[in-house]
Amino acid sequence: MRTQRLKQGFTLVEIMIVVAIIALLAAIAIPNLLRARMSSNDALAKATLRAMSTAAESFGTANNGLYPLDMNSLTTPQPPFLNTNYVGGPIAGYVYTDTMTSSGYSFTATPVSVGSTGSAVEAITTGGVLTP
């Protein structure tokens, strides 16, 4: 007498249901992940602008009220007022620019792609006034 062996494994329908569930979860999770990344880029841009402003204000205090004329004035002294020159290439989805004179400064953080890497252009001016 022959015994019938049970076939083991998953059917095509079961596998398709699992794939559909994974796709649904990914469709929910990926936009949230992208929003969280953009939010962290925004927070980092504001913190970076504040650090640049603090460095410029410290330089002004140390130099009788005269602000730095360029980023090298902040990064080259020992010890430096600012450890990194942020102006130039993109950093965490933002590009930083500066306008500096002996009487003041303005730093700007512009998203590489608005709505994707950052939400808005941020700027900080003499005295540490941050504007969105």
Residue 3 lies in a domain: no
Asked if 76 and 112 touch (Cβ cutoff 8 Å), the reply is no
Residue 7 lies in a domain: no
Residue 85 lies in a domain: yes
Residue 1 lies in a domain: no
The pLDDT score that the predictor gives to residue 109 is: 96
Note the residue count of the chain. 132
Residue 118 lies in a domain: yes
The pLDDT score that the predictor gives to residue 8 is: 80
Predicted TM-score of the model (pTM): 0.81
Instruction: Tell me how many domains the chain contains.
Output: 1
Residue 55 lies in a domain: yes
For 34-88, the DSSP string reads HHHHHHHHHHHHHHHHHHHHHHHHHHHHHTTTPPPSSTHHHHSSSS-S-SS--BS
What are 27-85's pLDDT values in tens digits? 999 989 999 999 999 999 999 999 999 999 999 999 999 999 999 999 999 999 999 99
What band does 2 get if pLDDT is binned at 50, 70 and 90?
Answer: low
Residue 29 lies in a domain: yes
> Which domain, by its residues, includes 113?
12-131
Residue 117 lies in a domain: yes
